[in-house]
Chain A
Amino acid sequence: MDVLVFLIPVSVGLGALGLVAFFWTMKSAQYDDPQGDAARILRDDYDDNPKPD
C-alpha cells in the first residue's frame, strides 16, 4: 500500500495539470468559434511544412 503515497499525488497532480490546460484554453478564447475551428483544421493556410509545388 506504500505505493499509494506516490500514486495519489501523481493522479491528483495529473488532474490538476488537465485543469490548468483547461484554464489556458479558455483564457486564450479557444471556445469562441468551435464551428470555425473545426473547418479551419481542413485548410492548408497554416501548414507548417507545405509541400513544394
Chain B
Amino acid sequence: MSVSDHPSAAACPGCIALPDIARRVEKTRSEHAFDVQISLPSIHCASCISGVERGLMQLDSVEDVRVNLTRKRATVRVAPGTEPDTIVHHLERLGFEAQPLDNATLTAGESDKQARDLMMRFGVAGFSSMNVMLLSVAIWAGATDATRDMFHWLSAAIALPTIAFSAQPFFKSGFAALRAARLNMDVPISLAILLAAGMSLFETINSGEHAYFDAALSLTFFLLAGRFLDQKMRSTARSAAAELAALEAPTALRVVDGDTHTVKVTDVSVGDILLVRPGARIPVDGDVIQGASEMDRAFLTGETDPVAVAIGAQVRAGEVNLTGPLHIRTSAVGPDTLLHGLADLVSVAEEAKSRYNSLADRAAQIYAPAVHLLALIGFVVWMYLTAGDVRTSLNIAVALLIITCPCALGLAVPAVSTVASGGLFKRGLLVKHATALERLAEIDEVVFDKTGTLTRGTPTLTNPQDLPDHAFALAAALALGSNHPRSKAIAKAAEGFDLPDVQVTDIVEHPGLGVEAKFQGQTVRLGRAEWVTGQGDSSTCLGIDGQDTVQFTFEDTLRPGAAELLQHLRDRNIPVMLLSGDAENPVAQLAQDLNIPTWQSGVLPSEKAAVLEAKRAAGKRVLMVGDGLNDTAALAVAHVSIAPASALEATRVAADLVLVSPDLSRIQDSLRIAKSARKRILENFGVAAVYNSIAIPIAFVGLATPLTAAIAMSTSSILVSLNALRTR
C-alpha cells in the first residue's frame, strides 16, 4: 500500500482550518507517513514473518510492514502521530518480542554501499573471467596463429576494462600503502594483476604464445570474493552494534514552567530541570531538588540493593530510578558525566588492543616481500641464463607472481571468519572486533562480574513456602501497586501459590520506603523494616498496624547456563575468578553455589581494571565477562571481553563480543568456534605452503603455462574455501 492510496490530506480536520490549504496539503503529504524500525530478536521462520506482517496490518495506523528476517528487523510505515510503543505492545500481545529502534542512530547506509560496490565489481569480474576462460579453452585446445591471436585480442577486449573496474579496491589500497612506504597484501596483488595484464597485452600485440588474461581475471575474482566476505562480516557486526545502540533512544523530560517536554538528551544543558519517572534511567548527572526515591546503582557499582535518595542527593547518569518521581537539576551533561568518563577510559585501553596483530597480517608481512623477492630472483636468473632476453625473463617473473596467488591469505581467512561469526550470530553472539575470535582462541583464564552477568541482577523471593498464606496474599496484593524490583519478585512468586483472595484499598507508594494500603480498616505496610515497624534495618517486611511482621528475604537468581558454563571451564582446566563490586555476603554465596574458588567483593571500577592489568603483566590472557559500567575499563584491558546485550551502551562498546542470548552457556560455543576457526586458518596457511612449494619450482623452471596456472590457482582457492566451511 502506498501513500497515495490513503485518504487525501484534506480529510484531516487540521488542514481545512488553515487558509493556505495547498501549501498545507503539500506539507502533509511529505510528512504523511513515516517509517519506524522495530527490532524482533526472536523471529526465525516463515510463520513468524506472516505473523508479524499480518498482525501489524490489523492496526489502522499501520500502512505497510516489511520484515527482514536476515536482520531480524521490521520496517513499519505508520500514519503520523503513531507512537512506536503501540506497535510494540501490539506485537507483544501477539507473542513477539519487540523493541523500537532509534532511526537516527541507525545509519548503516555507508557500509551497505561499500558491500554493494564490492559485489558489483565481483559480479563484473565473474562475468569476464567466465567468458575469457571460455576463449582460453579454445587456445589451450590447440588454436594457433591467426585464430589464437584473434582469441587473445577478444580476451584483451573483455579483460582490460574489467581489470580497470574490478581491481580498483586493490589498486587503491596498494597505492596508499606504497605512498606510506609500507607493504601490504594489496601490493603484490595489484602488481600481479597489472603485470599479468600488461605482459599479456604485449604478447598479444607480438602474437606471442601465452597470455594470462584469464589468470589475472580469476585472481581478481577470487580475491574480491574474500574482500566481499570480509566486508559483509564487518558490516553485519557494525549494523548489529548500531542496532543495539538504537535500542535506547536517549530522551529526557525537561520541565519548563511546570510543563514537561520530551527532548533529546543531547539538547539538555547544565542547569535544566528534568523529571525522571520511576523505572526510567537518569540521563545526566545532577542533584535531586524535589521528590524521594530509591536508585538502582548496580550498573555503576555492582551493588544489588537499592539506595535511598532524597532532596540534595547526587544522582549519576546510568542509574535507574525505582520508586518515586524525581526532579533533578542537571550538573553535568554528555561527555562530562561520570558515565562518559568511564567510557573514555575504554578508548585508552582500546588503543593497546588494536595493536594486536592478526594471523593474516603477520602472514602477509612475510608473504608480500617474499613473493616480490622471488619474482625478482626469477627475472635476474633467467636474464643470466638467456643472456639478456627480457621478454622470456619477464614472462617467468610474471608467471611466478601469478602462480603464488595469495588466495590462502586473501580468501581463506575472511572465509573462515565469516563462517565462524555467522555460526556465532545464529547462537546469539555478535563478533564486534575483527581479531576477537583469534584472541578468544588464546585465552587461559576467565574473569566474571557478578550482578547482571552471572546473575540476572533482579531479586527473587527465597522463602515463599515459609510464609503464612494470609500474609503472603496481602503482600502480593500490595506488591501489585509498586514497580520496585522486590515488589515484582513477590508478585511473581505469588503466582505459583494458591493464595486466599484478599481485597486491599487505597494503595499508596511511599518512595524510598514501601507500599501502604487499607485492609479491613487496618493499615498494612510492605517495605523497609524500619518504616513498617518503626525499628530494624533495610530488609523487607510486611506489617499490619505495625504488628505481626513477616520478613521477606531475597536473592539474585542465576542466569540460565551459568552453572553449565562454569562446569565446562572446570573440565577444560581454565581458572575462573569472580570480581564483583557487590557486598561480601552475596558474592561469597554465589561463589560457593557455583564452586568458584577465587573471588573478590566490593571491588572498585579502577581496582577491577588494575586486577586485569596485573594479570596481563603476568602474561595471562584473560577473557573478561561483565555488564556494568564498573566493568568497562576492565573489559577494555582484558585480552578479550564479552558483554551481555542487557549492558549499557558504553559497556557494549568496550566489549569484543556481545551476548544477545540470555543463555550464558553460549560462551562455551564461542570458545569452541574460536578454537576451530584458528585451526582452520592455520590449516589453510599449510595448504598454501604446500601448494606454493610445488607451484613455485614449476614456474621457476619455466614450465608454467596459462593452463597450469589456471588449474593450480583455482584448485588452491577452492580447497581453502571448502576447508573454511569445516569451521563449526
Are B123 and A19 in contact, CB atoms less than 8 angstroms apart?
yes
Q: Does A11 contact B (CB under 8 A)?
A: yes
Task: Determine if A16 and B127 form an interchain contact, defined as CB atoms under 8 angstroms apart.
Answer: yes
Distance between A32 CB and nearest chain B CB, rounded to angstroms: 7
Contact of A34 among B70, B134, B135, B147 (CB under 8 A): B70
B131 touching A15, Cβ below 8 Å? yes
Residues in A with CB closer than 8 Å to B45 are 39
Closest to B143 in A: A1
Chain B residue contacts of A11, Cβ below 8 A: 131, 134
State whether A39 and B49 are in contact (beta carbons under 8 Å apart), knowing that A18-B127, A32-B68 are contacts in the complex.
yes
Asked whether, in the complex, the Cβ of B69 is within 8 Å of the Cβ of A26, the reply is no
Contact B119 A31 (CB under 8 A): yes
For the complex, give the distance between the alpha carbons of A19 and B134 in Å. Answer: 16
- Bits for B102-137, please: 1 = Cβ < 8 Å to A, else 0: 000000000000001001100110010011001100
Interface of B is mostly: helix
Distance of B568 from chain A, by nearest CB (Å): 30
A9-51 CB mask vs B (1 if < 8 Å, else 0) is 0011001101100110010000111111001101101000000
B49, B123, B135: the one contacting A43 at CB < 8 Å is B49
Query: With A and B bound together, what is the CA distance between A37 and B434 in angstroms?
Result: 29
* Assembled-state Cα–Cα distance A34/B147 (Å): 44
Q: In the complex, what distance in Å separates the CA atom of A22 from the CA atom of B120?
A: 8
Q: Which residue of A lies closest to B154 (CB)?
A: A8
Whether, in the assembled complex, B164 has its beta carbon less than 8 Å from a beta carbon of chain A, the answer is no
Give the CA-CA distance A31 to B118 in the complex, in Å.
13
Check A40–B127 contact: CB distance below 8 A: no
Residues of chain A with a CB closer than 8 A to B147's CB: 1
Interchain CA distance A39-B135 in the complex, whole Å: 40
B17 CB within 8 Å of chain A: no
List residues of chain B with CB within 8 A of the CB of A15.
127, 130-131
- Please give, as numbers and ranges, the residues of chain B lying within 8 Å of A18 by CB-CB distance: 127
CB proximity of B235 to chain A, nearest CB, Å? 12
Complex alpha-carbon distance, A13 and B130, angstroms: 13
With contacts A12-B131, A16-B127, A26-B116 known, is A42 near B70, CB below 8 A?
Answer: no
Using CB atoms and an 8 Å cutoff, list the residues of chain A in contact with chain B: 1, 8, 11-12, 15-16, 18-19, 22-23, 26, 31-36, 39-40, 42-43, 45
A-B contact pairs, 15 of them (CB 8 A): A8-B135, A8-B154, A11-B131, A16-B127, A18-B127, A19-B124, A22-B123, A23-B120, A32-B70, A33-B68, A36-B69, A39-B46, A39-B49, A40-B49, A43-B46
Give me the interface of B with A, judged by CB distance under 8 Å. Answer: 45-46, 49-50, 67-71, 116, 119-120, 123-124, 127, 130-131, 134-135, 147, 154, 158
Which 8 residue pairs spanning A and B have beta carbons closest together? Answer: A36-B69, A39-B46, A35-B69, A33-B68, A19-B127, A35-B70, A22-B123, A33-B70
